[in-house]
Amino acid sequence: MHAADPRRGYLLGLAAYGIWGLFPLYFKTLESIPATEILVHRVLWSALCGLLLLQLWRHPGWWQALRAHPLRIAVLAGSSLLIACNWLLYVWAVNNGRMLETSLGYYINPLVNVLLGLLLLGERLRPLQWLAVGLAVLGVLQQLWQLGSLPWISLVLAFSFSVYGLIRKQAPVAALPGLVVETWLLLPPALGWLWLHPGASSAQDTFWSTPQALWLVAAGPVTLVPLLCFNAAARHLPYATLGFLQYLAPSLVLLLAVFVYGEPLEPGRLLAFVCIWLGLAVYSLDIWRHLRRLPVTP
């Protein structure tokens, strides 16, 4: 086993979250293609690329472990549906001028993790964690009151990804083999969608001579590369450190939404962001204080 290299870990972590934060630039190139069709190709090319990568970066025994525990495949089937819903909504929101809501969703995500730990795992929250979750709830309620609309995109993205992570913990499979199994489980409905939609853009022979065809094929590497960077970073950095780096992705989405794509950041929505940011600051402070109290292991 290689010794931890924090500098390499930081670079890989920044690469993973940086790529995730720049995802809108990629999906905007496919703006003329329906979100469902983009999802279908993301599944197809991720399944193929993932299988090829498994031949290069072997994970000994993962398939035998799955066969020995068939319940894990059922768990991965559930997680595959959740990640598909998350991917679909994210692409739709980005390509329909709702990037600010996707950004807010991934800011909320770590606080939703804390809330689910309380509700589903019986975890006890520390006082600062209660305050952090309360500030997040206040941000959501403030937007409901001032803008007159529940930020449903943000909430669905945050809860779907949090529940996805919770389910994946029930099937201890490494990230790459797990994603390969999830995408292969999604292949039948993806292929069925293509068969039922012969008029789809990507079902036309002429489409594959256009630049957009290359962008669709790139959905495989675009999905897998940040995941590989994240997994490599996790081997060199404490998980809490990766937790702090995760704020990079929604921050980049926020900057792209406002300064590149001109989405309006109304005062009401800005106040919701401020509440979430305060919640994250309190949450980060709690993690830092908790880690300082832990005994130092040699």
Q: Where are the domains of the chain?
A: 6-292
Q: Give the integer Cα–Cα distance in Å for 219 and 236.
A: 27
pLDDT digits (tens, 9 = 90+) for 62-87: 888 888 888 889 999 999 999 999 99
* Cα–Cα nearest to 57, from 190, 180, 149, 144: 180
pLDDT digits (tens, 9 = 90+) for 173-218: 888 888 889 999 999 999 999 999 999 999 999 999 998 999 999 9
Checking if the pLDDT of 92 tops 50, the result is yes
pLDDT digits (tens, 9 = 90+) for 240-276: 667 778 889 999 999 999 999 999 988 888 988 999 9
* Inter-residue contact 143 to 149 (CB < 8 Å): yes
81-95, 98-112, 164-178, 265-279: lowest mean pLDDT where?
164-178
**What share of the chain in percent tops pLDDT 70?**
95
Full DSSP string of 70-94: HHHHHHHHHHHHHHHHHHHHHHHHH
Whole-model pTM over 0.85: yes
Query: What sign has the CA pseudo-torsion 50, 54, 60, 64?
Result: positive
Query: Can you read off the two tokens belonging to residue 60?
Result: 């000994």
**What share of the chain in percent tops pLDDT 90?**
49
Please name the residues in contact with 131: beta carbons below 8 A apart, sequence gap of 6 or more.
279, 282
- 1 band by pLDDT with thresholds 50, 70 and 90: very low
- Determine if residue 121 is left, alpha or beta; phi over 0 gives left, psi from -120 to 50 gives alpha, anything else beta: alpha
Q: Give the integer Cα–Cα distance in Å for 65 and 171.
A: 10
Amino acid at 186: L
* Inter-residue contact 202 to 39 (CB < 8 Å): no
- The better pLDDT of the pair 93, 118 is held by 93
Checking if the pLDDT of 298 tops 50, the result is no
